[in-house]
Chains A and B, each alone.
Chain A
Amino acid sequence: MSSAQIRLGTHFCFQYAWNENELYLFKAAVAYAMRQYYFTENGQQVNFTPENVETCNVTERVSFFFRVTDPKAAASIIPKADVEAAIRLSRGHINSAFLLSNDTLEFVGILSTLAPPIEPPVQVWLIVFGVVMGFVACVGVSSHRQRVSGQEEKIKKG
Chain B
Amino acid sequence: MRLTLPNPGLDERIPTHAQLEKLEVEEADSRPKWDNKAQYMLTCVGFCIGLGNVWRFPYLCQSHGGGAFIIPFLILLVLEGTPLLYLEFAIGQRLRSGSVGVWRSISPYLTGVGIASMMVSFLVGLYYNTILSWVMWYFFNSFQEPLPWSQCPVNENRTGLVSECAKSSSVDYFWYRETLNTSAAIDDSGGLQWWLVLVSFSAWTILYVCCLRGIESTGKAVYVTSTLPYVVLAIFLIRGLTLKGSVSGIQFLFTPDVNELMNPQTWLDAGAQVFYSFGLAWGGLISFSSYNSVHNNCEQDAIIISIVTGCTSLYAAIVIYSIIGFRATEKFDDCLSGNIFALLNAFDLAEGSINESNYETVLQSLNGTSPDIIQGLHLPSCDMQQFLSEGVEGTGLAFIVFTEAITKMPISPLWSVLFFIMLFCLGLSSLFGNIEGVVVPLQDLHVLPKTWPKEAFTGLTCLISFIIAMVFSQRSGNYWVTLFDTFAGSIPLLTIAFFEMIAVVYIYGIDRFNKDIEFMIGHKPNIFWQATWRVISPLIVLAIFVAYFVSQVTKELTYTAWDPTSEDFPKLSRLTYPGWIYVIIFILAGVPSLAVPFVALFKYIQNRCRGGH
Contact = CB atoms under 8 A, between A and B. Distances in A.
Interface string A99-117: 0000000000001011111
A14 B351 contact: yes
Given A117-B153, A143-B217, A9 B341 contact: yes
A61 B198 contact: no
Given A114-B158, A117-B153, A61 B351 contact: yes
Interface in A72-130: 111, 113-118, 120, 124-129
Most buried by B among A10, A114, A128, A136: A10
A139 interface: yes
Interface in A123-146: 124-129, 132-133, 136, 139-140, 143-144
Contact of A129 (B160, B198, B208): B198
Contact of B350 (A60, A117, A133): A60
A11 B345 CA distance: 12
B159 interface: yes
Given A60-B350, A124-B141, A116 B202 contact: no
Contacts of B151: 117
A62 B337 CA distance: 17
Interface in B337-387: 337, 340-341, 344-345, 348-353
A113 B202 contact: no
B140 interface: yes
Nearest to A133: B202
Interface in B154-210: 154, 158-161, 198-199, 202, 205-206, 208-209
B212 A143 contact: yes
Contacts of B160: 114
A125 B178 CA distance: 13
A111 B337 contact: no
Nearest to A120: B144
A128 B151 CA distance: 21
Most buried by A among B209, B341, B349: B209
Contacts of A9: 341
A127 B144 CA distance: 11
A141 to B, nearest CB: 10
Contacts of A128: 139-140, 143
B213 interface: yes
Contacts of B213: 143, 147
A118 B208 CA distance: 37
Interface in A1-45: 7-11, 14
B137 interface: yes
Given A114-B158, A117-B154, A124-B144, A10 B209 contact: no
Contacts of A69: none
Interface residues of A, number: 33
Contacts of A111: 159
A149 interface: no
A113 B158 contact: yes
Given A124-B141, A124-B144, A139-B209, A61 B350 contact: yes
A61 B140 contact: no
Contact of A125 (B141, B158, B341, B351): B141
A60 B348 contact: yes
Given A10-B337, A125-B141, A128-B143, A61 B205 contact: no
Contacts of B202: 129, 132-133, 136
Contacts of B212: 140, 143-144
Contacts of A124: 140-141, 143-144
A62 B348 CA distance: 8
Contacts of A8: 351
B158 A61 contact: no
Contacts of A11: 337, 341
A49 interface: no
A117 B173 CA distance: 15
A113 B217 CA distance: 56
Contact of B351 (A62, A115, A116, A136): A62
A140 B213 CA distance: 11
A61 B349 contact: yes
Contacts of A147: 213
A118 B146 CA distance: 9
A143 B344 contact: no
Most buried by A among B154, B161, B337: B154
Interface string B315-353: 000000000000000000000010011001100111111
A47 interface: no
Given A9-B341, A113-B159, A129 B140 contact: yes
Contact of A143 (B199, B206, B209, B349): B209
Nearest to B139: A128
Given A61-B349, A111-B159, A10 B344 contact: yes
Given A10-B340, A113-B158, A132-B202, A59 B141 contact: no
A55 interface: no
Nearest to A57: B348
A114 B341 contact: no
Contacts of A114: 154, 158-161
Nearest to A10: B341
Nearest to B346: A61
Contacts of A10: 337, 340-341, 344, 351-352
21 contacts: A11-B337, A60-B350, A61-B344, A62-B351, A63-B345, A113-B158, A114-B154, A114-B158, A114-B160, A114-B161, A124-B140, A125-B143, A128-B140, A129-B202, A133-B202, A133-B205, A136-B205, A136-B206, A140-B205, A143-B209, A143-B217
Nearest 8 pairs of A and B residues by beta carbon: A125-B140, A60-B350, A61-B348, A59-B348, A128-B140, A140-B209, A124-B144, A125-B141
Given A10-B351, A114-B161, A136-B209, 18 more contacts: A8-B351, A10-B337, A10-B340, A10-B344, A10-B352, A14-B351, A60-B348, A60-B349, A61-B348, A61-B350, A63-B345, A114-B160, A127-B143, A128-B140, A133-B202, A136-B202, A140-B208, A143-B217
